Amino acid sequence: MLEGVDMGVGGVDPFALKVDELDASVGDAEAASGDDDGGATESGRVRSRSESSSAGWGDEGGEEDVDEVEDEAEAEVEDDPRMALLTRVIDLDRPVATNEAVEFFFQEGMAENLMSFVHRCGQGGRDRQQRSSSGRSSVRVRSESVGSSSAGGAGRVTLRGAHTEAYRAREWTAEDPMRRSFRVVSLLVNPTGAMTRFMKVKLDVLIHELFRVFEADSEGNFNHFNCVLVHMLRLYPDRVLQAVTSAGYLLRMLPYVHVPVVSTSMVYLLTTTGSGDLQHRLYASFVSSGGVQALHDMLLGLDDVADIEPAAEFLTRCTSALAAEEPAELLWSSLAQQSGLIAGAVAVMAGLHPDELDFERLARSGTELGGYEPSECSPATHMYSLASRRALGNLVTALLEGSMRVMTAPSPLALMGFSDPDAPPPVSRMACMLHSLCTQLVELVPELERGFVNTPLGGPRKYSAYTVDATFSELHMDIVLILANLVSMVPERVLDKLTPLFWRVASKHFLAHPHNNVYHARFFRIFTGILTSSYYQDETLGALLGGSGGFLDAMIEHYVSGGKTSARGFIVTMLNVLRLKADSQPADAPLPSLLATSDAYCEFLPTLESVTRAYTLRAFPDIARVAPHVYPGISPSTVTYTADGHELGSSFASLLKMDRAKPHPQRAHLRKR
């Protein structure tokens, strides 16, 4: 028995009714309805209405009043004694899934009725009319939200109809429908044996009804949807994955990726491991049905620029969540084959419309541009928000970092306590994208530089210990990290594309933001990439260091000034890299000559050596604290220095990646000046 149930007429407990008695009462109600209508059945009434409509019955145009049909449908639902009984149960303060209740849920059509409180399809028409009459905007949705386009070939889909519906404001302010939806969700996730048996038997019906929350006329709450879906995936992952794969529900969810909880649900689905090849089939279905192509269109805002930020954030989350999932390699390889995606994303990051790319230069380099062609109207007037540009910057950074990542998962022997030195470290499943990403990004370095140089900084911000005159945006940090990764991999193809303007702006930011160690570490990687790589370019180093009053002198002045700064460790490290590199070259080489002409450097050199010696003799030297930021994997507690000093060939030089450089016989030329 359910405590607190309205006992109804005569004080009879509604669940005391047996199934056959309830069916009999429903039959009596149908018979009474048939007598009132002259013996016509419901199907007969529907058929007669459709026949009269098709025959053009009446002289008023032969069109049915939509409101009248909706009212009739609502009246028929209200007249259903089983639905009325179910509503009374859900309206309880604390409904309990007793055996009698679950037996009632097992009746034909009751699982659908139960889920109708969650997806709430067809319940928002009257509310939308009220909002429209009260002055709010009313959205008219399309009946076909997601459709295939035969003109685009197999797997080409369009989400244009779904976009309008996905951004529609749903009616979540009505208390009764929301309360009923919450109570149904509470019943479904109830761990009692009776409810678990009901979910196991009716799982296919429940899954189908649950995903109706993405239909055009649904007013369902996505948080309630996620709660039920996660519960189903925990209990029956194989059956849920099979249903989602066969029905293509992932593609139906894609237009709603701007809703955080829907994005979370999609990531949870993609990371759920089923038996056999179920997870692989899920990815294959999403790719073959055009899901990656739809993501491509959303990332570039081809339907609406509002799609860029949520789609980029969703895919950025996938880079960390799916890096170790073997079936996800299908997704990443398909994404790498999307022509024009990287070029379009970098263009948006730089504040350009894809039409404003240098098509001739990119075509000569062989960069894939997909279907992009220069627009007739130039310049493009389309502007992207900083949030969209930042989201794409995060995505490109995550894709490149994920492709370079070496997973640290232990081998089976390591899990059993044995060492396996011959086992190679597992590689990220995104490694299939690395070649395509590097090939395209190195040709887009001018656009990356433009995005870094031209993107304005933020306003001043006061912290507890200092005040920043102009704050970095996340987009600046992403672009610098992309360039640092490219310099570490292919410096010979990147350094000659960076102009002196980039070096001036980048070095200025290094000193103008003395407490931004994240930027310092990323700039340091670019700086040392010029010196430690086999591809050494004197022009690049000259543009960076400058002559008198350039970056070299400014670094030394910044260090000597003694003000509040967090860049001192990086400055000492950078000057030591310059010193060691110069010691490996003849006196008339460009770098030693440039250092010799700097009075500030020559005067600071004895101080640099003494400071470096003091740093390397400490238990936790400041120079080692910089190392984890510059070279990941190096811990200050594990760095040890021997008595071999801090010249070329020492452990200190090896820490700075100068272990391959050999001292030149004229290495003391600067000391003699």
- The more confident residue out of 514 and 648 is 514
How far, in Å, CA of 260 to CA of 182, rounded?
19
pLDDT of residue 667: 55
Q: What was the pLDDT predicted at 138?
A: 29
For residue 157, the SS3 value is strand
Q: Please tell me the predicted confidence (pLDDT) of residue 240.
A: 95
Q: Model-level pTM?
A: 0.75
Q: Span 575-596, mean pLDDT?
A: 84
The answer to whether 213 touches 222, Cβ cutoff 8 Å, is yes
Helix/strand number for the chain, H first, E second? 36, 4
The confidence score (pLDDT) of residue 409 equals: 53
pLDDT at 523: 92
Task: Look at residue 6 and tell me whether its pLDDT is greater than 60.
Answer: no
- At 287 the pLDDT is 92
More confident residue, 137 or 122: 122
Within its chain, how far is the Cα of 448 from the centroid? 21
| 619, two tokens | 């238990």
Residue range 45-73: mean pLDDT, rounded: 39
| Tens-digit pLDDT profile for residues 186-236 | 999 877 788 889 999 999 999 999 999 999 889 999 999 999 999 999 999
User: Which tokens go with 347?
Assistant: 């263009």
Per-residue DSSP letter, 409: P
Query: In terms of Cα–Cα distance, which of 75, 53, 55 is closest to 64?
Result: 53
Q: How far apart are the C-alpha atoms of 92 and 107, rounded to whole Å?
A: 21
pLDDT at residue 592 in the model: 85
What average pLDDT does the structure give for the chain? 74
Classify each residue of 360-388 as buried b or exposed e, where b means 16 or more C-beta atoms within 10 Å of its C-beta: eebeeeebbbeebeeeeeeeeeeebeeeb
Q: What percent of the chain shows pLDDT beyond 90?
A: 25
- Distance in angstroms between the alpha carbons of the first and the last residue of the chain: 99
Q: Poorest-confidence range of 179-183, 515-519, 550-554, 584-588? A: 584-588
Minimum mean pLDDT range among 16-20, 143-147, 416-420: 143-147
Q: List, for residues 331-371, the tens digit of each pLDDT value.
A: 999 988 887 888 889 988 988 876 666 656 555 555 554 44
Burial class (CB in 10 A: 0-12, 13-18, 19+), 618: exposed
pLDDT at position 355 is 66
User: What integer pLDDT is reported at residue 625 of this predicted model?
Assistant: 53
426 and 406 in contact (C-beta within 8 Å)? yes
- CA 134, 139, 144 angle in degrees (round to 5)? 155
Q: Which two tokens stand for residue 28?
A: 């009596």
- Average pLDDT of the segment spanning 248-276: 92
CA distance 620 to 640: 9
Q: Which token pair is 314? A: 């969703």
Please say whether the beta carbons of 558 and 514 come within 8 A. Answer: yes
Average pLDDT over residues 386-402: 92
- Torsion over CA of 383, 385, 388 and 391, rounded to 10 degrees? 130
Q: How confident is the model at residue 266 (pLDDT cuts 50, 70, 90)?
A: very high
Which string of DSSP letters, residue by residue, matches 217-263? TB---HHHHHHHHHHHHHH-HHHHHHHHHHHTHHHHHGGGTTSHHHH
- Residues 131-179: tens digit of each pLDDT: 333 333 322 223 333 443 333 333 344 555 566 678 888 878 788 899 9
Amino acid at 307: D
Q: Where are the alpha helices (DSSP H) in 120-248?
A: 125-133, 160-166, 175-188, 193-201, 203-210, 222-235, 237-247
Instruction: State whether residue 662 is helix, strand or coil.
Output: coil
| Mean per-residue pLDDT, 282-305 | 89
Q: How confident is the model at residue 408 (pLDDT cuts 50, 70, 90)?
A: low
Question: Mean of the pLDDT values across residues 30-59?
Answer: 39
Over pLDDT 70: what percentage of the chain?
Answer: 66
With a cut of 70, say whether residue 308 has pLDDT above it: yes
Q: Using an 8 Å Cβ cutoff, are 214 and 256 in contact?
A: yes
- Element holding 155 (H helix, E strand): none
Q: Are 411 and 420 in contact (CB under 8 A)?
A: yes
pLDDT tens figures, 596-646? 888 898 999 988 888 887 766 554 445 555 554 554 444 444 444 445 567
Residue 657's region, left for phi above 0, alpha for psi from -120 to 50, else beta, is left
Confidence at residue 163, expressed as pLDDT on a 0 to 100 scale:
61
pLDDT for the residue numbered 151: 33
Cα–Cα dist 204/73, whole Å = 26
Enumerate long-range contacts of 162-169, CB under 8 Å, 24 or more apart.
Answer: 162/255, 163/255, 163/303, 163/304, 163/307, 164/139, 165/139, 165/141, 165/216, 165/255, 166/255, 166/256, 166/258, 167/258, 167/306, 168/139, 168/141, 169/139
For 48-62, 406-420, 439-453, which range has the lowest pLDDT when averaged over its residues? 48-62
Question: Average pLDDT for residues 524-536, to the nearest whole number?
Answer: 77
Bridge pairing between strands 467-468 and 461-462: antiparallel
DSSP string computed for 621-647: -HHHHHHHHHSTT--GGG----TTTTS
Q: What is the 3-state secondary structure (H, E, C) of 477-521?
A: HHHHHHHHHHHHHCHHHHHHHCCHHHHHHHHHHHHHCCCCHHHHH
Query: Which residue type occupies 435?
Result: H
Q: 489 has which bridge partners?
A: none
- Taken in order 577, 581, 584, 590, the sign of the CA dihedral is negative
pLDDT of 422: 59
Pick from 451, 452, 471: which is nearest to 461 by CA?
Answer: 471
Q: Is the distance from CB of 121 to CB of 212 less than 8 angstroms?
A: yes
Q: What is the DSSP letter of 92?
A: S
Q: State yes or no: cis peptide before 379, omega within 30 of 0.
A: yes
Query: Is the model's pLDDT at 448 over the cut of 50?
Result: yes
From the number of C-beta atoms within 10 Å of its C-beta (0-12, 13-18, 19+), residue 201 rates as: middle
pLDDT score at 98: 83
Using alpha carbons only, how large is the chain's radius of gyration in Å? 34
Task: Out of 56-60, 119-123, 615-619, 644-648, pick the least confident.
Answer: 56-60
Stronger pLDDT, 566 or 282, i.e. the higher one: 282
Looking at per-residue pLDDT, the higher value among 257 and 157 belongs to 257
Residue 666 has pLDDT above 90, yes or no: no
Q: Three-state secondary structure along 443-489?
A: HCHHHHHHHHHHCCCCCCEECCCCEECCCCCHHHHHHHHHHHHHHHH
